[in-house]
A and B are shown apart, each in its own frame.
Chain A
Amino acid sequence: MVTVASNTKPKVIVVGGGLAGLMTTIQIAEAGVPVDLFSFVPVKRSHSVCAQGGINGAVNTKGEGDSPYEHLDDTIYGGDFLANQSPVKHMCDHAPGIINLLDRMGVMFNRTGEGLLDFRRFGGTQYHRTAYAGATTGQQLLYALDEQTRRHEVEGKVVKHEFWEFLGIVKDDDGACKGIIAQDLRTMMIQEFRADAVVLATGGPGIIYNRSTNSVMNTGTAASAVYQQGAKYANGEFIQVHPTAIPGMDKLRLMSESARGEGGRVWVPRTPGDKRRGEAIPEAERFYFLEEKYPAYGNLVPRDIATREIFAMCVDEKMGVFGENQVYLDLTHLDKKQIDIKLGGILEIYEKFIGEDPRTTPMRIFPAVHYSMGGLWVDFVKDNTSGGLVVGDPRNQMTNIMGLYAVGECEYQYHGANRLGANSLLSCLTAGQMTGPGVATYVKHLPKSVDDLPASLFEREKKVRQVQYEKLAASVGTENPYKLHEELGDVMTANVTVVRYNDRLKATDAKIQELQERVERVSIADNSSWTNQLIPFTRQLKNMLHLSRAVTLGALARDESRGAHYKPDFPKRDDARFLKSTIAEWTSDGPKLSYEDVDTSLIKPRLRNYAAEKNESETAAPEAESVKEKLVVSTNTSHGTNGANGKESFGTGLTGATRQEMQIAAGADANGSGDQLSTRPPEARRDSPYSLGAKEEIRIADDNWLTGANDAADADPAKASNPVSVEGEKLVSTR
């Protein structure tokens, strides 16, 4: 029998036990509201353990004059101005406090000689702003929260449901979220759980790319489930490809940005195909391309830029190490004892999986899918005095479904078009810290308790999920869901990562729809009713396919280049048309896209240029003035303050012709962006082996660095010729 937290008082369900989920849980429990915590795995094994480099906070202990404002500006600039600025300000303002809190919880952060917290450099900033615990910071932070959660569990405030899968929410007749349906992954029992509010902290969707730096459970299945139940999904097309990972058949393992923060250098031999080992190549024959092209930031340019440069160096310039898709990440010049103390965790991973010692041999790395800036749309309530958020307001972090919240990587609002390194742990923690009190306020002020609702409401929803499961269990066919997943990952990796072309995005969407048909014909070789892994995976795969369409079609519709989203055919940022969040809403015909203004109330958008110091690029801002003037930003657009009314829709009524004209106009304005991929004209990049071939014959790239496979797969040309369009009627406003 499953025990459930007290049903006489308000109660909350948190789904997901990573940093965001546990911080939210602790805050809600501390506010005196009992929490039922659901997780696939014992929460100590959540994906947050994979975070390596550190957590940002402008504590300014190095006499550099760092401040939360600088942190805000770096984050907004790094995110190419797509993030709503008030939530980011909240995050940066609360960063020093959250680091102190985790320090008090016993996180073994590295220390200075005085016993203070040490801070190191990270990408996209010129300050020492990143607190760290070796190179396993995420693991250390998660463990601290796991321990505090266990304490609340012992005190009876939290009930954990581990090895459970979230299947969907239960809505009342007014459309408010009043609980969840979940499945015990051992007994396979499907059960309903009532709650006055539900918080999703279910992480990112990296596994839609199959091999990435993500843990295997990061399928985005929970986010997709609520997306299909009416939650809006925002900026799905913004997927971060991390510049430095090591390839593997099962996973692409992250080599933290902190390696460069501690002085690691990225280079290739000046002679293409140089057969000598890296350590044997003299200094003069090494091309430190990031340092040469970006003198101000060097190896610490933001991830989107480093990734494009590495990609261009290998794919376009054919300068990859040993002629392959890989570059050196070199630590061999650094003090070996110091890097053991500061980077031990990643050195260990490299040694274990590659069998070489990175202290004496330069590591060979290549970019890998890493993080989703996009996610469930959530609200915020701006504090007009501070410019940050109204702490404790129940609308902060609430999705468009009343009573359903989202925190952590599964939501969209802190990182814009490109996340800065060491800001993800921070966004999980500050959002969790803020959401807890807001949720407590919400549930305490509800006019009636969830326990007053009729059982039939929950029974009905449970039945839906049971029928869904039984139908899957009875599925007869020839398809293997793991193979279908591999096909999904291959096509997504080839076409919806570093470089994006519209024809290939259309072909990808066609391929996803083909997979949606084929997944209905899976062979369920195992329909055992105890610890069945096959049927839940198939269910997750279906959810992954829905989310993949939102990602792909969001990318297709965004004809510009911004942060991680790069289209050679539209190489400039286009603020006039696309300084907007993409909003995807699920329909049975596919995602319906609309656009929402971005809160740029604190920092005026300016062009990014990481070749220069940030202040210099600020003086370059007037160039962007003409773009900026076109912005349609209401002074009142803070999400919650005016409800939905303050938000202007973007897409309404735009015809294809109008969009094209706007593109041309903006293209003439927005020039001089310093983070362009290469000097080559877009057409020259067309036939790169990484992306697809000619327009007529759509082929999946032979990108064995990411897929681990050498065999290229053909997309169905019949499908490719009939792509789903998001032009015209699909691009409509939701309001």
Chain B
Amino acid sequence: MLPDNLREYAVAVAVEAFDAEAVKGGKYDRNELTLEIAPGKIASVCGFLKFDQAFVRLSTVTAVDRYPAEPRFEVVYHLHSVEHNARVRLKCLVRGEDPVIESVTGVWRGANWYEREVFDLFGIQFIGHPDLRRIMLPDDWEGHPLRKDYPITGSRV
């Protein structure tokens, strides 16, 4: 459900009109619009935003670990419309146990490396990603450093 205070923002209304079940919530804070999207709908919502709402650029994909809260991960997408000079942030909540989410590489090829980075550093799987491998760390690295339960100091024994 789209919160009522977001009804004045055309993008938020358009996404709700496109797929009312996809929108789980949202907020407008510090001049930035955030929409919370159901993880299973993220690729179709991104496709809609790119092709119908002119959000041609995917600025970045990243994640936030809310450990020990559940659902643990937030996968965050920053979209940019050059034509309308507008930005929107999409957010999906993903469970901590065996986290998976749809890949948006089918919408933007540029999502490839960003999703690989999130996979590498957070351990979130992207379904439908063409080449999901570690990108920053060596292939035999254990663990995912940007998780909050990953130790900051110490050495492996």
A and B part of one assembly? no
Binding site for A on B (CB under 8 A): none
